[in-house]
Chain A
Amino acid sequence: MSKLGTLGARLHHGEVGYDFVKNRKIWYGISILITITAIVGLAVRGLHMGIEFQGGAVFSTPKNMSVSVAQAEEYAEEASGHDAIVQKLGDGSLRIQVAGIDTKASDTIKEQLSEDLKVESEQINAELVGPSWGEQIANKAWQGLGIFLVLVVIYLAIAFEWRMAFAAFVALIHDITITVGVYALVGFEVTPGTVIGLLTILGYSLYDTVVVFDSLKEQTKDITKQTRWTYSEIANRSINSTLVRSINTTVVALLPVAGLLFIGGGVLGAGMLNDISLSLFVGLAAGAYSSIFIATPLVADLKERDPAMKALKKRVLAKRAQGKSAPEPEPVGSGGLGGGTQDAAPAVVGPRNQPASRSRGRGRPSGKRR
């Protein structure tokens, strides 16, 4: 079986495991750093808003134009009286952007261009956007974002608990900030397609987070009835046990997006496909990162402040101190939690716990010991 499969097995048995929760400070630090960079980038460079957001026109010509970019630029500026940006796409077609013109004026510009470029005017694709349209799209997107966040936080608070809702919220903001920051820093053009991509990230990033939380919730169901693990340790194991799935999901999600990006960027040159997939690509990567490194450790952090969890931690530590005197192959809490605790546990529990207890979950054996 592939390496990942073996890794899955080892993760499953706790043979390997990375202590995501313990090292959370590092991840928080990295994330804060990235976020600050993103915000600074946003503040300093700002977003390069596409024509759709400032109003103007985008004309694109048929394939294989013989006219050079510089010449087309000249034509366009002459025709419109505004600055024009001309790009030559992979298939030889020209993309001419003129900002700040009225939708009415664009008709004459189109006619003029078709004359200059010697293309029939019906052959020219035109996208004319009034200045308020982009604003409206953006406003609606913000509105949608707001409503969605509120609904999701409520849903997660009901289905899970408020800490998870909060952590998911933070992770989401984190993802969006990073994506927007990347756009500001690299200077990609922001179009409605970008907005679509950004909004999709919402769903996707949460989707990922929710799966980890789901596992976490299941594992911590009877947490107070045992004294072997603290909340953070169980949280860490949830991450590890869903790690293979997280990797798989991210890969599987990124593959079609990569296909889009390849076709959108490589073949079409520019346009909706490219815009959507680019922001998706950035956002998905950030989303996978945040659900593992940010959201879950954050939940653990919050949860450890809960008095019940504090008490649990005390009990667990006391138990372990006690257990140290007993023959234990490995000291607990030394770095790799997965390996450490899981090996430690059987030593304490001993072979009395028969598979019969399997179906009853964790509660039972630990109950016995108390």
Chain B
Amino acid sequence: MSWPPARRPGARRPEREYEKVAAPKKGRNAGAQSKPWRSLALILIAIVGLTAGMFASGQTTPRLGIDLAGGTSITLRAEPEAGQESAINKTNMDTAVSIMERRVNGLGVSEAEVQTQGDRNIIVNIPKGTNSKQAREQVGTTAKLYFRPVIAREAGGAAPTPEASSSPSAGSGKAEDTKEKDGKKDESSSPSPSATSQGRAVTDGLKADASPSPKASESKGSGDGDGGGKGDASDPQNSKLQAEYAALDCTKPDQRTTAGKGAKPDEATVACGQDSQGQWQKYLLGPAEVDGTDVDDAQAVYDTQAGTGWKVTLGFTDKGSKKFASITGKLAQQQSPQNEFAIVLDGNVVSNPYVTQSLSSNAEISGNFTQESAKNLANVLSYGALPLTFKEDSVTTVTAALGGEQLRAGLIAGAIGLALVVAYLLIYYRGLSFIAIASLLVSAALTYLIMSLLGPAIGFALNLPAVCGAIVAIGITADSFIVYFERVRDEIREGRSLRPSVERAWPRARRTILVSDFVSFLAAAVLFAVTVGKVQGFAFTLGLTTLLDVVVVFLFTKPLLTLMARRKFFASGHKWSGLDPKALGAKPPLRRTRRPAGPVETKEA
């Protein structure tokens, strides 16, 4: 967000203003008084402009946070692996955010937002209407990145793939051609001794089947399965996978998310993925050969030498490069699509490059990458190498009913607060309160408009603490008027008429307002920069309204008072104007000459 930098100009201003006022005397009445209409026009233009902007952006209300709109908000904390404290840095956190965004939006949630907060937290906001439990599961689990050999691949749904760009498209028929070889290879490279049935049980499809397959056949199962095809009915699990593959329709979002769910890395599985044309494809994949954690580093680079455009370079750890060399060595001898390996993130195929030769520690993936797609892939790849795990720090689920109620309560509280302040001002300042109330309204309008615009602009969401901040700010805003009005009144008490009083009071009031607003803003800025979570939302509104307060006082209240001072109602000190010299106890001129010293001194007050 853009306002910590804004603090600097703010920081200098009060001092500068102070210099100006400290040695005043001349030209005190100049500037400010001269063009009140201009300032008023300026603020009017600002309001109109912002309103137009608001309607143009299509967001006519501030975006509501989870606690007001209902939904689930999850705060995750990054935990570095032992000895890798430096792993918590911006790049890694951003990578993690982009991965989580993928996952949450994979649920078919359109408005879920994922953002970093502070230096080690990630906030995931999922609006209402989503299965919060499923969302939590998605976010809470650690991302799993695997390199799996492709056994079969075909267009995922009703729409046939016109062409797969990075690799020649192939049907499942081809996969069967080379089944023998493929099967053997997988068997040798990855024996899967573990209790696979456990992992499988999670898969929805298998639950119904409840296959009591013995482990012995399973360990081979994956190998057989690759080549076994439909004919191999003796292995129920394997045929199940085939059936699953056949039935899988990757164009359907719900199938995409469940496909291959719960698959163990050392088993074959099915998965979905988009090719570079954005077409969904389905895959039948062998057991994972290389883990995401084997990746040391991945970067998107522009190939200037060959001029082939963007590519992704990959570096592996020692262990990883051995595995990678072995798998690529085997894959290179295969035909398409079995010479491909799929990069599978969370059960989704993000890329399926084909292998032309055995590769060792360093590899590169080239193809029709744009800068963006190359960077995305590099991000995904390096995520596997992130030495971070994420822990749930807090999960807040707010039903839409409660959210609405809280919003209403906040609004009512604000209305009550505003009404009380207005009533107090009316009683105390009478006619003068018209200016104060008008200023408060302008301030409120500006706050509303800017909040609405900040929604689309920087993802600002109005939550309950932010509402509190805005309500508390009513006091700060009103105080600026009080400071100024009291100064004006002091001047009137000196026996001045209204117009000079307004002008004379301004420089001093201005300084006080700037100094005190600066302190208030400083508090908000520090809170915003340092804290996390709800405190931050509060600090943001407080800072915003403090800034607006300065704008409104300078561009609206002061010029309006200048103009009003010309009206007879105020200038003559009407009884109800709040500026009645008699009621204020102004010293009549006669007395003033008799005892001038008192007023002379207090004038500086």
Contact = CB atoms under 8 A, between A and B. Distances in A.
Interface of A: 1-2, 4-6, 8-10, 12-14, 52, 60, 62-63, 103-104, 106-107, 122-130, 132-133, 136-137, 140-141, 143-144, 147-148, 151-152, 155, 158-159, 192-193, 195-196, 199-200, 202-204, 206-207, 210-211, 214-215, 218-219, 221, 237-238, 241-242, 244-245, 248-249, 251-260, 262-264, 267-268, 271-273, 276-277, 280, 342-343, 345-346, 349, 351, 353-355, 357-359, 361-362, 365
A267 B415 CA distance: 14
Contact of B535 (A1, A141, A202, A237): A141
Q: Is the interface of B mostly helix, strand, loop or mixed?
A: helix
B482 A248 contact: yes
Contacts of B600: 353, 355, 357-358, 362, 365
Contacts of A249: 475, 479, 482
Contact of A13 (B75, B478, B596, B602): B602
A362 B603 CA distance: 9
B57 interface: no
A257 B524 contact: no
B466 to A, nearest CB: 10
B534 A193 contact: yes
Interface residues of B, number: 105
Given A127-B395, A137-B532, A342-B598, A248 B428 contact: yes
Contact of A130 (B392, B396, B578, B594): B392
Given A14-B602, A152-B519, A353 B596 contact: yes
Given A219-B604, A342-B598, 11 more contacts: A6-B585, A143-B530, A155-B519, A196-B538, A200-B472, A210-B519, A238-B605, A259-B419, A272-B67, A272-B534, A358-B600
A60 B402 contact: yes
The 7 closest A-B pairs by CB, nearest first: A9-B585, A256-B417, A203-B523, A253-B475, A1-B583, A259-B416, A259-B417
A133 B542 contact: no
A240 to B, nearest CB: 9
A141 B475 contact: no
A107 B131 CA distance: 13
Interface stretch (B213-221, B225-233, B509-517): B509-517
Interface of B: 11, 14-15, 18, 22, 25, 67, 75, 77, 118, 121, 132-133, 136, 391-399, 401-402, 405-406, 409-410, 412-421, 424-425, 427-428, 464-465, 468-469, 471-472, 474-476, 478-479, 482-483, 486, 489-490, 493-494, 508, 511-512, 515-516, 518-520, 522-524, 526-527, 529-535, 538-539, 542, 578, 580, 583-587, 592-605
A238 B427 CA distance: 25
B597 A259 contact: no
A245 B484 CA distance: 10
B486 A248 contact: yes
B515 A159 contact: yes
A128 B524 CA distance: 27
A271 B293 CA distance: 43
B388 to A, nearest CB: 16
Nearest to A237: B605
Nearest to B596: A353
Contacts of B14: 159
A277 B42 CA distance: 36
A5 B605 contact: no
Contact of A257 (B394, B405, B417): B417
Nearest to B520: A203
Nearest to B539: A199
Given A204-B520, A238-B605, A251-B424, A9 B493 contact: yes
Contact of B15 (A140, A159, A268, A342): A159
Residue among A124, A126, A280 with most chain B CB within 10 A: A126
A52 B136 CA distance: 19
B416 A263 contact: yes
A218 B604 contact: yes
A359 to B, nearest CB: 7
Contact of A206 (B415, B519, B598): B519
Contacts of A215: 512, 605
A273 B417 CA distance: 13
Contacts of A195: 535
Nearest to A213: B515
Given A136-B77, A192-B535, A144 B398 contact: no
Contacts of B469: 200
A105 to B, nearest CB: 12
Nearest to A272: B464
B399 A1 contact: no
A127 B18 contact: no
Contacts of B472: 200, 253, 256-257, 260, 280
22 contacts: A2-B427, A9-B493, A125-B397, A130-B392, A136-B393, A137-B531, A159-B15, A193-B534, A203-B523, A204-B476, A207-B476, A210-B516, A214-B511, A237-B601, A244-B486, A252-B425, A252-B482, A253-B476, A255-B424, A257-B471, A258-B420, A358-B494
A345 B598 contact: yes
Nearest to B28: A359
A132 B392 CA distance: 10
A128 B394 contact: yes
A118 B203 CA distance: 30
